[in-house]
Structure 1
Amino acid sequence: MRKLLEMKKISYYILVISLILIGTTDVFGQQSLKHYLEIAAKNNLGLQAKFNDYMAAMEQVPQVGTLPEASFAFSYFIQPVETRVGPQKWKFNLTQSFPWFGLLNAKEDVATEMAKAKYEAFENLKSNLFFEVKTAYYNYYFIEKAIEITEENIGILEVFKRLSLVKIESGKASIVDELRVELELNDLKNQMALLSDTKHVLKVKFYNLLNTQISETIEVPETLWQEELPLDKQSMLDSIYSANHELKSIDHKLNAFANQEIVAKKEGLPMFTLGLDYTIVEKNPMSTAIDNGRDAFMFPSIGIKIPLYRNKYKARIKEATYLQEAERSKKEDKKNMLSTVYEDTYKDFSDSNRRILLNQKQTEIAKKVLDVLMTSYSTDSKGFEEVLRMERELLKYELEYQKALTDKNAATAFVDYLLGN
């Protein structure tokens, strides 16, 4: 009867483990992760710094898009200039310069495109932050499940240890059996201690990413859901090329330098000035003219500034051209790098899928074999070595299954980052 009770306990532990491995999507867990991502986006200091860089760049647009400051001049005649209508005493001059047509718009376009490039840098950092939060979340989930699975295996070994003691007491087994189980238990308990330390480290990292105080727990699902790639392999790569924030940033810089070339060309063209003069005239006591003492007003006065020194404008045009070529090279290099990284990530994604299926099958088989071996040992004391070996195999397959789930979602999260999500 006692042997039967021990066997029932073992079957119970194996049943609990099998429930852990049911691959269903946990909506609650997904909602928790979404909530954590919102907190990270709101609180992360690095993200706030990047956004302020973008806002500062946007303030450049109205600065470069306005006319040059107007020029005001005041003149006082120490020796009044005598005229027919009286002596001139003071003179005021107001002048406004006007650059070549389209120059201000081109400068605004340069500033706008550079600001957009900074915005894409902000979005890229946000996508990277989301990837890091997701990865930290998945790793924390794995540690939680590893601790849970290890605890269940310790429970199985504790039952097996008691069963071996019963066999020893009845003279059907050697004391070596009990000592071998003790060795296995010591190894698992040491592994539990390491997992607990790792769990704390991952918790600190996770809450630092969120920039919030560390709470007691991180809400993770009972079983991790499986993320899938929405498109086929080549379509995903095409989407990365069109949506990646780093590539978009390069495109905006390329547009900025193209407009910078336009600015350099237009700055080498004439600038016009428009002004007015107002002269204060005092009355001439000796004059009988009807307009005696009338102030003199002249509007408009028109001028032109001709840029004679051409070398600096030619150099600015060449500078903008070289910068455009540099950005084109950067874009092609970035696309090559993204292609390489994507291929490696897709390989990890496919491998994770295979490992999920493999370890599901291996776990089911290992549980059946362990059940048979335990029954055999409880009845005729045979197969002790095989029981211990199979128990280790079962633990390995259970952990590998959870690791495969984590790796698959981490690979999908990285593809999301490449897509700018």
Structure 2
Amino acid sequence: MKSIKNDIEKSKFLRLLILKNHLFLFFSISFCIFLSSSTYSQDSLSYYLEQAASNNPGIKARFLEYSAALEKLPQASSLPDPEIQSGYFIPPMELLGGNQIAEIRLMQMFPWFGTLKAAKDEASKMALAKFENFRNAKNELYFNVRAAYYKVYRTQKEIEVAEKNLKILKTLEQLALIKFRSGGTSIAGGLGSSVSTSSSSLSSSSSGMNGDAMSGQGRTGTGITTSTQAIISMGSSDNMGGSLSSSMGNGSKGDMVNLLRIRIEIQSLENRIALLKDQLISDKVGFNLFLNRYPLSEVFTGDSLIEPPVISDILSLTDSIANHPMVKMYKAEALANAAKLTMATRMGYPMLGLGLNYMLIRPRSDNTSMMNGKDMIMPMVSVTLPIYRKKYKAMQQEAEYMREAATESAVEMMNNLQFNFHQTMQDYNDATRRVKLYKDQALLADKSVQLLINSFSASGSDFEEILRMQQQLLDFEFKLIEAVVDKNTSTARLIYLTGID
């Protein structure tokens, strides 16, 4: 009877510990997810965004492309290089004014009026298109970094919730073990007496089970832990010999089944935690690669997520789609091809050339002319004859096709952005509803678990219902974290689609 009394006192302490763990688990998750008291998460995300913008090779490549496009402006607006020609007469050419020994000719060609301006406009608009492409790459990188950051946060929170639930399951296992040893006797009779079992002895017992459970993951063969073997052996001795003490009563078989059930749940949760830890490594690698740093670098997410700021009237963001970098890029390309069409038209006109011809003349001894031996300077004008019209017509048609293609691409991009915007709005609203739903359901499930634990402590019944409800509570907590992450990811996508970042 003294042993039963001690078991009853232990069970009271364990029951209070379970209720305390449930309350702490629920309110800590609610506090971390829904309150904005800590800004470390937002600060760390802002820091990571800055690091990604500075170090990501894709962003660097897009910016270098833009810088290269800017260098085309002085090329397009420059005149053709002047031409200089010279010749030397091996036998001097006899002229009236003397003997010409050499000739130097300088010529500068000028395109038709407006050709250089059109070429410069084309180059500037193409540079603008490259800049918008760079902006889109940066915004897309920001979205990818945010999404990867939220994914790391989700996995870390799921591990945290799973480990806390694992502690609760191990405490339930202790409670079921006490029930099993007491042979189904009610352990609620001594609720008014003081608890004599110290928390230190309970902690050491629980920590021993933690180490045994974790070490059991790496074993080969049947993989049955020591505690499970002990439970099975106790049940076997009851079946084979029937010599268990009478204090265990008729409920010993059911109590043993409860122990086996909770051991199954513990092993399943331990396996899930191991899977989540492997997933966390993959998530961190993917996140760090966006920042172009060591793949296994630590990622700090903080204790809470702060939703990125979005305009309150979110439907008005649809007007910003026309200012999306990709739309502006295609519009800039259309303007560039329109300028190219103008340039191709001007290139079909003649080019004008201005120059000088300088002739070196040696005086002749038998020439008495006043011009004898004087060098000659001759201004020159030249004109090209663009008589091969097919190539100019083809250049104009090419520019027109490219302009129309860019215009249609801009329309297509706006349609795609409109569809993605409304699809993301649907996901955002769905995530908002799920956050409220799972928060309420987690609260109800937590209260249900507490009531079932009270019932089990009093009558020894509903243990299977406790496990089922505990599993449902864990599922609600996982879904709550997923919903919060989905809401933040949808917000980040809305920011990317509207180009307001």
- TM-score normalised over the length of structure 2: 0.81
Aligned amino acid, residue 14 of structure 2: E
Alignment of structure 1 residues 168-317 onto 2, 5 Å: 168-172=180-184, 173=251, 174-215=255-296, 217-227=298-308, 229-242=310-323, 244-298=324-378, 300-317=379-396
Matched ranges for 1:101-120 at <5 A: 101-120=113-132
Paired amino acid for 2:259? E
Q: Distance in 1 between matches of 2:129 and 2:476?
A: 47
Of residues 16, 22, 31 in structure 2, which corresponds to 1:14?
A: 22
Identify the residue that residue 149 of structure 2 maps to in structure 1: 137
What is the CA-CA distance between 1:190 and the residue it aligns to? 1.0
Aligned length: 419
> Cα offset for 1:42?
1.3
CA deviations 1:396-417 (Å, max 9, x no partner) are 1111111111001111111122
Change in Cα spacing, 1:214 to 1:321, as seen in structure 2 (3 Å) is: closer
Equivalent pair of 2:262/2:467 in contact (CA under 8 Å): yes
Q: Distance in 1 between the 2:172 and 2:93 partners?
A: 120
Which amino acid in the other structure matches residue 11 of structure 2? K
Please state how far the C-alpha of 1:291 moved relative to its aligned partner: 4.8
Could you tell me how far 1:228 is from its partner in structure 2? 5.0
Alpha-carbon distance, 1:360 to partner: 1.1
List per-residue Cα deviations over 1:349-398 (Å, max 9, x = no partner): 00010011111111111111111111111121122122111101111111
RMSD value over aligned CA atoms? 1.6
For residues 408 and 202 of structure 1, the distance between their equivalents in structure 2, rounded to whole angstroms, comes to 19
Matched letter for residue 23 of structure 2: L
Question: 2:85 matched to 1:69?
Answer: no
The answer to whether residue 365 in structure 2 is matched with residue 354 in structure 1 is: no
Q: Distance in 2 between matches of 1:306 and 1:234?
A: 59
Alpha-carbon distance in structure 2 between the residues aligned to 1:403 and 1:28: 21
- Rounded to whole Å, the distance in 2 between the matches of 1:141 and 1:228 is 19
Q: Which moved more, 1:205-214 or 1:79-88?
A: 79-88
Q: CA deviation at 1:144?
A: 0.5
Residue by residue over 1:196-241, the C-alpha shift from the partner in whole angstroms, topping out at 9 and shown as x without a partner, is 1101111111111111114553111212223353143431111122
- Identify unmatched segments of 5+ residues in structure 2: 1-8, 185-250
Go from structure 1 to structure 2 and tell me whether the alpha carbon gap of 1:268 and 1:255 turns closer, same or farther (over 3 Å shift). Answer: same
Distance 1:227 1:69, change over 3 A: closer
Alpha-carbon deviation of 1:275?
A: 0.3
Contact 1:237–1:342, Cα closer than 8 Å, also in 2 = yes
CA-to-aligned-CA distance 1:147-196 (integer Å, 9 cap, x gap):
00001111111111101111111111521111111111111111111101
Distance 1:226 1:262, change over 3 A: same
* Aligned equivalents of 1:228, 1:15: Cα separation in 2: 31
Deviation of 1:289 after TM superposition, in Å, equals 4.5
Q: C-alpha separation between the residues in 1 aligned to 2:322 and 2:127?
A: 21
2:447 aligned partner = 368
* Deviation, structure 1 residue 319: 1.6
Structure 1 equivalent of residue 13 of structure 2: 5
In structure 2, give the amino acid aligned to 1:212.
R
Moved more, 58-67 or 342-351: 58-67
- Structure 2 distance, partners of 1:366, 1:241, is 47
Structure-2 separation of matches of 1:383 and 1:227: 45
- Amino acid corresponding to residue 422 of structure 2 in structure 1: E
User: Per-residue displacement from partner, 1:215-272 (whole Å, max 9, x unpaired)?
Assistant: 5531112122233531434311111222x11111101100010001100110111211
- Offset of residue 20 of structure 1: 2.2
Q: What is the distance in 2 between the residues matched to 1:185 and 1:111?
A: 67
The 2-side partners of 1:3 and 1:192 are apart by: 27
Structure 1: which 5+ runs fail to align? none
Residue number in structure 1 paired with 2:205: none
Give, in whole Å, the separation in 2 of the partners of 1:63 and 1:225: 49
Q: TM-score, normalised by structure 1?
A: 0.95
Q: Does 1:418 align with 2:497?
A: yes
User: Offset at 1:327?
Assistant: 1.5
In structure 2, distance between residues paired with 1:184 and 1:75: 99
| CA distance, structure 2, for counterparts of residue 79 and residue 186 of structure 1 | 107
What is the alpha-carbon distance in structure 2 between the residues aligned to residue 358 and residue 318 of structure 1? 60
Deviation at 1:290, TM superposition (A): 4.9
Question: Which residue type is aligned with residue 50 of structure 1?
Answer: R
Provide Cα deviations, 1:59-90, integer angstroms capped at 9, x if missing partner: 22222221111111112234433334321111
Structure 1 segments of 4+ aligned residues over 4 angstroms from their partners: 288-291
Work out whether 1:80 is the aligned partner of 2:92: yes
Q: What SS does structure 2 have at the residue aligned with 1:21? A: helix
